[in-house]
Amino acid sequence: MNWLDALPLALIPTFGLIVTVLVLGFLYSSFSLRGRREPPGPRPVPLFGNLFQVDLRRLDQSLCNLSKKYGPVFQVFFGPKKVVVLAGYRTVKQALVNHADEFGNREITPIFYDFNKGHGIIFSNGELWKEMRRFALSTLRDFGMGRKMSEEKIIEECHYLIAEFEQFEGKPFSNNKAINYAASNVISALMFGERFDYSDKVFQAMVERDNESIHLTGSTSLLLYNLCPWLGPFLKHWRDLMKNVEDGKRDVRTMIKNLKETLDPGMCRCFVDAFLIRKKHLEDSELLNLHYHDDNLLYSVMNLFAAGTDTTATTLKWCLLYMAKFPHVQERVLEELSTVVGSRQVRTEDRKNLPYTDAVIHESQRLANIVPMALPHTIGKDVTFQGYFIKEGTTVVPLLTSVLYDDSEWENPHSFSPSHFLDSEGKFVRREAFMPFSAGRRACLGESLARMELFLFFTSLLQHFRFTPPPGVSEDQLDLTPVVGISLTPTPQKLCAVRRH
């Protein structure tokens, strides 16, 4: 697909009006940096930059290919916009961890601004971001994120998910919605103090909207929108996305309103309560309250709800697809679970005695590579990195594909191989280049919760079911090609969950 296909034909002539401005801007940028050693990269052409040299449908792969020619730090132009790409484990770690201050800002692209207007946690910067992230981390930990309290909530949700799978009696079905609902219910319990029935229409709409929005955000037309925001109203994907955002805000506002009406400062039930109590305390104390207001509450809840659902659910779908695709791996997991745990409920503490199972989960995360380019960063202040000058405000893409598939770190980077995480004695081995949650200041704040969810959901399902392709479909015919959005999800296809007992 040519990127121009995403542009309405009626708008193409108007490009001539801005060509001169863009060309002059490009020449000025080149002149102002003369004498400073910039990262290498393919030669751009005015207006279009390097758009004709990349495939916007799998941009991460195109950038990986360019890194083989230009090295671990290089630059490309998306239209007139300069982007510095970081490739390979050592370079990404050096930037995000060792130079966290310089590389730690989030780029607020036009579409990200449309999402949150600069509020919330994921798409904000500066003191606002620091305070909201600090509050979210401490509050979620207070409610047991990654500890015993959240373990009980996840185990409870496992029972509902197992019951949902059982209804299909081993016949082929799509597990997408049920897995989305299960993961969403875990974060819902933390956000709102309750779980929702899988048949709840409002809950279904919230989850499915977020799922669609994540896919739309990575579409070619919205990549073009970020370059030319005036295109927005003419692009169907942008209009659909804005409707999703407004509908989502309406539903979350209703839930916050209901919690506000029943708020008891002496009994904090959830994240929303904690925020409202903090806000009231600051108001009662007449302290200057810059960050604890309704917009930050609304957008923080929406951020956490969407992120807490998508990453865990998508990874679990890949895990089950890999089990059906590689039955010999599944058999070893079943054997280890039967030997170590038997029929009792798996607990988080069992992980240390299930090295092969743990390796399979980690390898699924690595190979699935669900957020291939992370979310873009910007440079907080001028920096010289690996000998190259990068100007403040420059967009930076940490290419996580190049980390999780780094052939200097992984023996068989493009194959499913649990041995990547096992030593010669079969014990689990942590690998520094395992970076699916990114790293540094912008690493996923829900990592401990996501890791616990993946382990408990995966092992509980494998205790009860054997996952196979539908009748008439071979393992080789199962499709591992991802559906590309801002994250990579499995191609929709049915599996069978056959009862083990």
**Whether pLDDT at 68 is above 50:** yes
Q: How far is CA 354 from CA 277, 323, 346, 435, in A?
A: 42, 16, 10, 21
Give me the residues paired with residue 76 across strands.
Answer: 83
**Whether pLDDT at 25 is above 70:** no
Q: Which two three-digit tokens encode residue 372?
A: 């291939």
**Whether pLDDT at 118 is above 80:** yes
Q: Which helix (H) or strand (E) holds 390?
A: strand 388-390
* Higher per-residue pLDDT: 5 or 350: 350
The end-to-end CA distance of the chain, in Å, is 48
For residue 145, the model assigns a pLDDT of 73
Mean pLDDT score, 410-428: 96
* pLDDT, tens digit, 9 for 90 and up, residues 426-483: 999 999 999 999 999 998 888 889 999 999 999 999 999 999 999 999 999 999 999 8
For residue 478, the model assigns a pLDDT of 95
* pLDDT, tens digit, 9 for 90 and up, residues 153-181: 999 999 999 999 999 999 999 999 999 99
Mean pLDDT score, 48-61: 89
For residue 285, the model assigns a pLDDT of 85
* pLDDT, tens digit, 9 for 90 and up, residues 274-285: 999 999 999 888
> In CATH, what class is 3-499?
mainly alpha
* pLDDT, tens digit, 9 for 90 and up, residues 310-336: 999 999 999 999 999 999 999 999 999
For residue 35, the model assigns a pLDDT of 59
Mean pLDDT score, 89-93: 96
For residue 21, the model assigns a pLDDT of 46
Name the one residue in this structure whose structure tokens are 């875990």: 186
**Whether pLDDT at 341 is above 80:** yes
Task: Determine what percent of the chain falls in helix, strand and coil, rounding each to the nearest 5.
Answer: 60, 10, 35
Q: How far apart are alpha carbons 85 and 191 in whole angstroms? A: 35
pLDDT band at 146 (very low <50, low <70, confident <90, very high): low
For residue 463, the model assigns a pLDDT of 96
For residue 58, the model assigns a pLDDT of 87
444 is in an annotated binding site: yes
Mean pLDDT score, 134-149: 83
Domain ranges in the chain are 3-499
* pLDDT, tens digit, 9 for 90 and up, residues 366-394: 999 999 998 899 999 999 999 999 999 99
Mean pLDDT score, 409-414: 95
Q: How far apart are alpha carbons 302 and 120 in whole angstroms? A: 8
Mean pLDDT across the chain, nearest whole number?
A: 90
- The percentage of residues in the chain with a pLDDT greater than 70, rounded to a whole number, is 93
* Higher per-residue pLDDT: 285 or 103: 103
Mean pLDDT score, 237-242: 94
For residue 8, the model assigns a pLDDT of 52
